[in-house]
Amino acid sequence: MPPSALDQLSRLNITYPMLFKLTNKNSDRMTHCGVLEFVADEGICYLPHWMMQNLLLEEGGLVQVESVNLMVATYSKFQPQSPDFLDITNPKAVLENALRNFACLTTGDVIAINYNEKIYELRVMETKPDKAVSIIECDMNVDFDAPLGYKEPERRSHYHEEPAAFTGSGNRLDGKKKGIEPSPAPIDPSDIKRGIPNYDYKVGKITFIRNSRPQPKKVDDEDAMNRFIAFSGEGQSLRKKGRKP
């Protein structure tokens, strides 16, 4: 801005830092900014190109400058105008560092930042507590919206179908059709032996299967006569009958 502007502002009761409202009455567009130096020629002020685009202002056009007081920012939300902004490793840190060169933000403006010799444009989607806020020496939370033209990558399934081996059909050697199992013959409960499950089991019915008692061993009549029975009251000879010494 020209030095005369500084002389006029110093005579007024203004607050620091100096903030201004710029209005293009021809397009009814307005924005807010600070001042860098008071060294411009009289009747001339120099604006960044991106600010002139926000005001729809051409070189040599007329702009109205007013001194204003803005509230300190607590929150701001930005939308990158290109998906290339996502290539930055830490975009939040890059933006916070770039905002040190700004004095205020206005909702709806498109600001431009320079990083790694490339210009990135971001639209101011939201500011709190007002639509125009001061960001000088403030603690402001920064958030991002999805970049303009950004498309989420398609999610690929982690499941990969493995090729099935031996997918051909086969034939049985006995001539029967494949996959047909013979129906099992009914089992008689009397044929069930211990250790084999009862396939005719019904819920609510308990069946106890016991082995038959072992038959007494058959002995000869001679062995039965010579058999010694303890405590029977009868004596037995140690010599076999029919033999004489």
Residue 11: per-residue pLDDT: 87
* Long-range CB contacts for residues 9-17, cutoff 8 Å, separation at least 24: 9/67, 12/67, 14/67, 15/69, 17/103, 17/134, 17/136
- Of the pLDDT bands very low, low, confident and very high (cuts 50, 70, 90), residue 133 is very high
- Of the pLDDT bands very low, low, confident and very high (cuts 50, 70, 90), residue 63 is very high
- Of the pLDDT bands very low, low, confident and very high (cuts 50, 70, 90), residue 192 is low
- Note the pTM of the prediction, 2 decimals: 0.57
Q: Judging by DSSP bridges, how do beta strands 132-134 and 141-144 pair with one another? A: unpaired
Helix (H) or strand (E) holding 92: helix 91-98
Interval 155-164 mean pLDDT = 63
Residue range 172-189, pLDDT digits in tens? 777 666 665 556 666 666
d(CA 21, CA 33): 7
One-letter amino acid of 88 = I
d(CA 91, CA 97): 10
> Does the pLDDT of residue 60 top 70, yes or no?
yes
> Does the pLDDT of residue 159 top 60, yes or no?
no
Return the number of other C-beta atoms located less than 10 Å from residue 4's C-beta.
Answer: 12
> Does the pLDDT of residue 224 top 90, yes or no?
no
